[in-house]
Amino acid sequence: MTKPIQIAVIGSGYVGLVAAVCFAEIGHDVVCVDNDERKVLALESGDTLIHERHLPELLERYRGNKIHFTSNLQEATRASDAIFIAVGTPQAENGNADLSYVEAVACEIARALTSYKVIVEKSTVPVYTNEWIRRAIERNGVARRLFDVVSNPEFLREGTAVQDFLHPDRIVVGADSDAASSLLAAIYAPLTTGAYYARPGAIPGICSSSAPPPLLNTSTKSAEIIKHASNAFLAMKISFINAVSNLCEAADANIEQVARGIGLDNRIGPRFLRPGIGYGGSCFPKDVAAFRSVAEQLGIDFSLLTEVEKINAEQKKRFLSKVRSALWTLRGKRLGVLGLAFKGETDDIRESPAVDMIEMLLAEGCSIAAYDPAAIKRTQHELPASPRLHYVEDAYAAARDADAVLVLTDWREFSALDLKRLHSLMRYPIVVDGRNLFDPQVMHEHGFTYISIGRPAVYPARDLELANRPGA
């Protein structure tokens, strides 16, 4: 194992906390900084505050020894060799990334610099942010020889973030100085040399001691563009397959078969070719908007991304139409909703299509019983319970006396539901599946009217007769 490096991580959200805990896991000494004293106290007591696999056990293993929490940014800066900025970059009204938190952190770091430090952009930021961080620090009177600024974008998926950090496809380091590049190489050496994977108890994943992840050295600007371009491309891939799913519905084809045929092409690959009700979360919506905005500022026509956003928005409207076609009218209908998070295995509801769908259905006059394995508490802050919105303890409670059940998030536990029990609880056995979790033939065998994305709907015999009538 290489010599531990003193690291400060500024921000304890999804990126910051995962990075801090994983740096400790690969052998470094970490202090995680947050200006919210309540979060600091909660983390010190072992509360991860977010739902993420492997995070609770790693936090419990390292808190108080290899990882500490504080609200004192300047003290953490002075004690560290590398300072990773992992604060929020929310989307502003004009589509740009709001970099005010990054700027505030850079200015506070500047007030503590007395010896050479490497400052690392870990937040997702647009190109040229590196230069603005450098400029902000210099404006606060810091000599250029006392710091370098590096771009080290994260490529984490919520729900598998710890594994993604420790088993990355690549590690991108955008550095314009040899000293900064060498320090980042040393930080990631346990991964890039394969030493971590040979260690007993290492978190398992796709990498190994014989096949470690590559370290890609680039300029700072290239690294910044790599992150935004990656997320924009993945969002485009999702919107593309959703557009194809609409074509499949019109042609009475099966999107699952089409997506498999596309994904078997090595040039394309199968990942992110799953149709649904659209992408969401903290990354894709704001990163697509920010990337498009940066292109416009530089005089580049990137209207392709405008179409990606348009398709994503339309997908939710199409799903609402599916629900309406299954029920005829919506006012007064009781719906069971399965899923609130923007994707399965996380409690994040930021830009969640599921939450958007609930708001649209409530506006139509529906009554909703909603369940999610992890995201109910967060959703209640945004959508409090009301006479027409109830949060329930499991999927079966959501289905009880429902006119239809809607699947809005791809939690693994939903695909394992007892379909016979589900059928017996519902007023009408209608399932509108926005994530294609079930096999249409199996749903037909269990007596459901089953409507999914990009696949022919299936009906029980009586409903099939009604569906085939003129005007149905």
Active site residues: 283
Q: How many residues does the chain have?
A: 472
In terms of Cα–Cα distance, which of 52, 223, 202 is closest to 126? 223
Are the C-beta atoms of 129 and 114 separated by less than 8 Å? Answer: no
Please spell the DSSP secondary structure of 375-414, one letter per residue.
Answer: -HHHHHHHS--BTTEEE-SSHHHHHTT-SEEEE-S--HHH
In terms of Cα–Cα distance, which of 120, 190, 175, 112 is closest to 146? 112
How far is residue 118's CA from residue 401's CA, in Å, rounded to a whole number?
59
Residues 6+ apart with CB under 8 A from 65: none
Please compute, for residue 388, the number of CA atoms within 13 A of its CA located in the half-sphere on the CB side: 15
Q: Which ranges of 26-166 would DSSP assign to H, the alpha helix?
A: 37-44, 55-62, 73-78, 100-110, 129-139, 161-166
Residues 6+ apart with CB under 8 A from 341: 347, 348, 349, 352, 354, 372, 374, 375, 409, 411
Residue 392 φ then ψ, to 5°: -120, 170
361: helix, strand or coil: helix
